């Protein structure tokens, strides 16, 4: 997993990770130094004559001017305290750098994942629910960073400490150290492997039920109007509660394992420590000669307990969050593929003469039948063309092909002889789109018209112009907040006609050559539809207008009319129309 994650880091992130690892290594050396100094200090306390018998202590005593034993002890204890102060301060700095690296990396990845999903083809979003993508960004990414990457760093850190202490113990008393290493190693290995498969299963189940919670929240709260009308509150709340209960069940098992591991590890370490003490006393023949060594093993055991607990806990956390790496790795790899691909500069794609569909057929990836079959169509610049058909006839699919959201299974869509796929962003910059259901954010009227544009870049004059074109000037003037009027989530504070007119204003904001209306009048009553169509007819000759509707009444005034039936086009009332 470490190798896989390392492969997902960019050069800059690798440098920062290496910096964190270097801090961890220095902290490890300070940890070992602090524990190692226990032996000479305890030797001084228990054996005052050691300043004469120990060459190291004798040299240090002489270097300090051969002070009295009490003064020498004062300096020794003060030095030990200073080492621990420096060590802990440095480890706090290292921990801060590690935490900052993790959270910065998470925020960076979340932004790039969002960009990856937004830049995926429209067909991808037809196959993946919003709840699934939200769960990946908000849930799985957090599990990857804090359930896999963070534990890996902690394992590296604590492994350095454990290995360093064991090597130091080997130099102090090889026999006791080997017994401790073999005993603890075997116990930890058995304990970890006993729970390994269970922990991974618990992690998978937790993530699945978390995704179910996201889905029920999105459905229940997103469709609150229908939920209230049909009285389905209990269904969504109970289904959500079921997923929450199952998620809590598996999470609690993992949490219990994490919390209880400390007691198991503590028992193992204490057992090994007592065994080492008994061995030392038995071999040494008394306690006086082995007091410094006993003190060292006591301090080493005290330091090994939290390290061992973190090693075991983090190893289980990695297993618990392993699913997040498997799910996100393909998407994270795509981040590298998109480096430099996104640019604010859009090459112009001019539409001067005609738009053509040449032998266009389309089948959805999981569909067995073609939705559109061998379509040949010419749309001259500046005309208003209408497509009528029953629900499911393929009207919206045809629009999505023209918009470039879908790519034909066969054939091509060309503008003035050039395929729109060769400069898709440039082609789409020519288009104003008004769907049946206008997506409005819970924000101001101004920001909903200039959709997705930074405040400082919004053209206030243009906003006023398109609102006038959409016949919303009277509505804006009647509100005290004017353009700062809040429309509510999904435009809940507005009427259906007002929402559609905001959609028109948004579509016209960039002054597009082509205006596409996809069932834009389907949710309107007849009177509102008449008013709405007056706005559209006022734009004739100024724009190329493509109108999709299942009602013939909405197509009055179209220069050409077509019916879509069983995936094919048939002219309606215009014998001269080409098809």
126-139 pLDDT tens trace: 777 777 787 788 77
Whether the Cβ atoms of residue 44 and residue 73 lie closer than 8 Å to each other: yes
**Shared domain check, 374 and 275:** no
Q: Where are the alpha helices (DSSP H) in 285-377?
A: 291-320, 322-337
Whether the Cβ atoms of residue 301 and residue 270 lie closer than 8 Å to each other: yes
Which pLDDT does position 104 carry in this prediction?
A: 86
Instruction: Report if residue 345 sits inside a domain.
Output: no
Instruction: Report if residue 576 sits inside a domain.
Output: no
**Shared domain check, 235 and 116:** yes
The CATH number given to whatever domain includes residue 488 is 3.40.50.300
**Shared domain check, 327 and 272:** yes
Instruction: Report if residue 320 sits inside a domain.
Output: yes
Q: Nearest to residue 334, comparing CAs of 34, 117, 17?
A: 117
CA-to-CA distance for 191 and 261, rounded, in angstroms?
9
Q: Where are the alpha helices (DSSP H) in 120-173?
A: 122-127, 130-134, 141-144, 150-172
Instruction: Report if residue 579 sits inside a domain.
Output: no
Instruction: Report if residue 344 sits inside a domain.
Output: no
The CATH number given to whatever domain includes residue 291 is 1.20.1560.10
pTM (predicted TM-score): 0.65
Strand-by-strand arrangement of the 372-380 sheet:
372-380, 354-362, 410-415, 418-419
Q: Nearest to residue 415, comparing CAs of 358, 481, 344?
A: 358
Percent of the chain with pLDDT over 90: 0
**Shared domain check, 428 and 282:** no
Instruction: Report if residue 348 sits inside a domain.
Output: no
The residue out of 337, 366, 401 marking a domain boundary is 337
**Shared domain check, 291 and 179:** yes
Domain containing residue 310:
2-337
Instruction: Report if residue 197 sits inside a domain.
Output: yes
**Shared domain check, 98 and 155:** yes
Question: What is the pLDDT confidence band of residue 237, given thresholds at 50, 70 and 90?
Answer: confident
Mean pLDDT, residues 117-121 taken together: 80
Strands 544-549 and 384-388: parallel
**Shared domain check, 253 and 227:** yes
The angle at the Cα of 244, spanning 490 to 223, to the nearest 5 degrees, equals: 20
The residue out of 302, 337, 372 marking a domain boundary is 337
**Shared domain check, 557 and 437:** yes
Burial of 297 (0-12, 13-18, 19+ CB in 10 A): buried
pLDDT over threshold 50, residue 41? yes
CA-to-CA distance for 403 and 428, rounded, in angstroms?
7
**Shared domain check, 380 and 326:** no
165-221 pLDDT tens trace: 778 777 777 877 787 777 777 877 887 777 777 877 887 788 778 778 877 877 777
**Shared domain check, 366 and 218:** no
| Tokens 């790039």 belong to residue | 112
Which pLDDT does position 577 carry in this prediction?
A: 39
Domain count, the chain: 2
CA-to-CA distance for 140 and 91, rounded, in angstroms?
29
* SS3 call for 232: coil
Q: Which residues contact 284 (CB under 8 A, 6 or more apart)?
A: 290
**Shared domain check, 417 and 306:** no
Instruction: Report if residue 577 sits inside a domain.
Output: no
Whether the Cβ atoms of residue 67 and residue 73 lie closer than 8 Å to each other: no
**Shared domain check, 305 and 361:** no
């Amino acid at each position: 997993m470490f190798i896989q994650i390392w492969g997902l880091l960019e050069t800059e992130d690798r440098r920062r990770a290496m910096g964190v690892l270097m801090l961890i290594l220095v902290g490890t050396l300070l940890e070992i130094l602090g524990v190692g100094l226990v032996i000479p200090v305890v030797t001084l306390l228990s054996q005052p004559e050691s300043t004469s018998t120990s060459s190291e202590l004798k040299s240090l005593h002489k270097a300090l001017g051969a002070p009295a034993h009490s003064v020498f002890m004062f300096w020794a204890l003060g030095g030990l305290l200073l080492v621990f102060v420096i060590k802990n301060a440095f480890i706090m700095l290292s921990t801060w750098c590690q935490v900052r690296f993790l959270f910065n990396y998470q925020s960076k990845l979340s932004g790039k994942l969002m960009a990856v999903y937004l830049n995926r083809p429209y067909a991808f979003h037809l196959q993946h629910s919003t709840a699934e993508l939200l769960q990946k960004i908000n849930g799985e990414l957090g599990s990857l960073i804090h359930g896999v990457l963070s534990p890996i760093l902690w394992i590296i850190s604590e492994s350095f400490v454990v290995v360093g202490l064991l090597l130091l113990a080997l130099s102090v008393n090889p026999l006791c150290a080997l017994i401790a290493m073999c005993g603890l190693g075997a116990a930890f290995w058995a304990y970890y492997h006993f729970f390994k498969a269970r922990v991974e299963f618990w992690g998978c189940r937790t993530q699945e039920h978390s995704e179910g919670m996201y889905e029920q929240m999105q459905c229940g709260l997103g469709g609150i109007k229908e939920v209230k009308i049909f009285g389905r509150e209990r269904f969504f709340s109970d289904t959500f509660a079921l997923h929450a209960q199952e998620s809590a069940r598996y999470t609690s098992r993992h949490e219990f394992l994490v919390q209880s591991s400390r007691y198991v590890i503590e028992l193992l370490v204490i057992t090994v420590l007592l065994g080492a003490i008994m061995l030392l006393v038995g071999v040494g023949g008394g306690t006086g000669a082995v007091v410094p060594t006993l003190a060292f093993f006591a301090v080493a055991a005290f330091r090994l307990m939290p390290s061992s607990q973190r090693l075991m806990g983090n190893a289980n956390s990695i297993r618990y969050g392993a699913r997040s790496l498997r799910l996100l790795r393909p998407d994270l790899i795509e981040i590298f593929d998109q480096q430099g691909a996104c640019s604010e500069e859009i090459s112009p794609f001019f539409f001067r003469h005609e738009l053509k569909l040449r032998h266009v057929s389309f089948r959805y990836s999981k569909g067995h039948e073609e939705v559109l079959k061998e379509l040949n169509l010419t749309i001259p610049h500046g005309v208003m063309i209408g497509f009528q058909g029953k629900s499911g006839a393929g009207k919206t699919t045809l629009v999505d092909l023209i918009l470039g959201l879908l790519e034909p299974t066969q054939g091509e869509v060309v503008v003035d002889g050039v395929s729109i796929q060769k400069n898709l962003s440039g082609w789409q910059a020519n288009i104003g789109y008004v769907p049946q259901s206008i997506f409005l954010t819970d924000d101001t009227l101004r920001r909903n018209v200039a959709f997705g544009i930074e405040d400082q870049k919004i053209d206030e004059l243009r906003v006023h112009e398109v609102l006038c074109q959409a016949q919303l000037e009277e509505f804006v003037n009647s509100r005290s907040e004017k353009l700062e009027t809040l429309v509510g989530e999904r435009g809940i504070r507005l009427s259906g006609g007002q929402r559609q007119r905001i959609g028109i204003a948004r579509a016209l904001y960039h002054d597009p050559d082509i205006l596409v209306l996809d069932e834009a009048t389907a949710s309107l009553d007849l009177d509102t539809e008449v008013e709405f169509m007056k706005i559209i007819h006022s734009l004739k000759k100024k724009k190329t207008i493509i109108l999709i509707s299942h009602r013939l009444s909405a197509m009055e005034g179209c220069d050409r009319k077509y019916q879509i039936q069983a995936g094919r086009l048939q002219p309606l009332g215009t014998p001269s129309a080409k098809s």
